[in-house]
Amino acid sequence: MILARRLARAALPLTALALLGVAPSLPPMSAEETVAANTVRAHVEFLADDRLEGRDMGSRGHEPLLGLNDYRGLDVRGKIVVALGGTPDGLSSEITAHLASTKDDSAARHGAIGFVEIARDPRNPGRIGGVAGMARRSAVDWVDSSGRSGNVPQGLRARLAFSPQWQERLFDGAARSLAAVRAQAKGVARPRGFPLATRLSITADSKWEDFTSPEVIGRLPGADPARSAENVVLMAHLDHLGVKRDAKPGEDAIYNGALDNAAGVATMLEAAREFVASGTRPARSVLFIANTGEEKGLLGADYFASHPTVPIGSIASVVDLDMPLPLYNFTDVIAFGADHSTVAQSVAEAGRSMGIGVSADPMPQESIFVRSDHYRFVSRGVPAILLMTGFANGGEAVWKRFLAHTYHSPSDDLGQPIEWRALARYGMLNYRIARALADAPMRPRWYAGDYFGDRFAPSQARALRRSP
């Protein structure tokens, strides 16, 4: 896999257009539990070791479905689209997150050559200094064999951000001012797009460097000739943030990523080991994928989903393991994406077999369903979930503390009070989930009428929703 660090280079004459606690302590361990706990501990201790220098990538170590179409009656071909960020009120958090993150893609699909996003809320207009910025920081993306960047929509030559003053100047001479558009776009209202009078000429310098970073993939062939061509994916991102460049002398500079996501990789390895130890091959094949570039924008998973080593249609389902928190005796898990497909039923059954509940998303405002590696498969029509330890039995306090003080900091290391037995249990749970998905008579299906299934897998068979 080849990834490029690059800024876009463009010189364009343009017409613009507006569119718009603490858990109870655990009982003494049995000999078997001790072995399992020691095994996952060894994986995490290796992956979170300082010698791996934080596992930095490249270092050593959707509208017609919702009745929304802002482009109806507008011709944006060869033009720059100026759009407000966010979405109208009244959509689910996951659909909002999906639409808000794919506006440049929509513009490109309608023939636009440039895209400018302006904050919907004038109190939070963005922090661009000067006139305009194309990219404030270096960006990392994968490129295909022709050198095309994976995350720049085809045909789009520039994505721009403007300072607040220049956002307003984009509307000079137009039928409506930016303030008027913002005032119209409150609540569920959707103002119609109109042409702007401004012409933009853009010149930008950029430089890029190429580096490679591997996706690590293992495949356990399925035993049933009728189902072995289908694949269940269990995956976890291996990369983390590397080394803190501006660390002060004596400061811990290494982002060990013990829980983000050495713990997820350890879980996957244990599930893989358990498949072999069971002595019985699964009916479907199972792919184990250690993803790269998750921290840089889900890049490895995106590359794999666009260049899969097996036909994308053969991937029956995906379970993503990202940042379990084995800091307490978890008694429930959250399956982000569980509202969308029958994968949730396999999760519920596996959980029941171990006395582990499956809880609803406790933080829907965070839209986690669209923010981890599994989403790159969802957007290609594959039913996928992200599994995390839940809020029950003290989990909520542990999660809040971790997110406030430890997440993406050098202290996500082996100094944390990790309950190795809880991680081993999490590994067993994920083995049972993957096993159920691999052995089930039918592959998972999107629920009838589900937005993401209808959007990305319109021709696939559907399941009727039932209570778990």
Sites of contact with Zn ion (CB under 5 A):
260
Residue closer to Zn ion by CB (options 86, 297) is 297
What is the CA angle 452-348-260, rounded to 5? 75
CB 427 within 8 A of CB 433: no
Residue closer to Zn ion by CB (options 18, 327) is 327
3-state DSSP assignment of residue 38? helix
- Least separation in angstroms between residue 137's CB and Zn ion is 17
List of residues 6+ apart from 354 with CB closer than 8 A: 425, 428, 429, 432
- Least separation in angstroms between residue 1's CB and Zn ion is 19
Residue closer to Zn ion by CB (options 243, 312) is 243
Q: Which of 276, 277, 283, 304 is nearest to 217 (CA)?
A: 304
- Least separation in angstroms between residue 408's CB and Zn ion is 6
- Least separation in angstroms between residue 255's CB and Zn ion is 9
Residue closer to Zn ion by CB (options 242, 453) is 242
Q: Which of 399, 336, 328 is nearest to 367 (CA)?
A: 336
Residue closer to Zn ion by CB (options 342, 389) is 389
Q: Which of 146, 127, 63, 92 is nearest to 370 (CA)?
A: 92
- Least separation in angstroms between residue 260's CB and Zn ion is 4
What is the CA angle 319-411-211, rounded to 5? 60
Residue closer to Zn ion by CB (options 291, 331) is 291
Q: Which of 354, 359, 370, 369 is nearest to 392 (CA)?
A: 359
List of residues 6+ apart from 216 with CB closer than 8 A: 238, 289, 290
Residue closer to Zn ion by CB (options 94, 260) is 260
3-state DSSP assignment of residue 213? coil
CB 334 within 8 A of CB 388: yes
Amino acid found at 145: S
- Least separation in angstroms between residue 387's CB and Zn ion is 16
- Least separation in angstroms between residue 241's CB and Zn ion is 7
- Least separation in angstroms between residue 189's CB and Zn ion is 36
Residue closer to Zn ion by CB (options 260, 302) is 260
Residue 151 structure tokens: 């995350």
- Least separation in angstroms between residue 416's CB and Zn ion is 15
Residue closer to Zn ion by CB (options 113, 235) is 235
CA distance 263 to 457: 32
Residue closer to Zn ion by CB (options 182, 240) is 240
Indicate the pairing of strand 194-203 with strand 11-19. Answer: antiparallel
- Least separation in angstroms between residue 412's CB and Zn ion is 9
- CB-nearest residue to Zn ion: 260
CA distance 67 to 55: 44
Residue closer to Zn ion by CB (options 141, 260) is 260
- Least separation in angstroms between residue 256's CB and Zn ion is 12
Q: Count Cβ neighbours within 10 Å for each residue of 187-226 and write b for 16 or more, e otherwise.
A: eeebbebeebebebebebeeebeeeebebebeebebeeee
- Segment (H or E) for 303: helix 299-306
φ, ψ dihedrals at 31, nearest 5°? -60, -40
Residue closer to Zn ion by CB (options 260, 439) is 260
List of residues 6+ apart from 408 with CB closer than 8 A: 241, 255, 260
Q: Which of 56, 466, 439 is nearest to 241 (CA)?
A: 56
CB 372 within 8 A of CB 347: no
The 3-state secondary structure of 110-149 reads: CCCCEEEEECCCCCCCCCCCCCEECCCCCEEEEECCCCCE
- Least separation in angstroms between residue 386's CB and Zn ion is 13
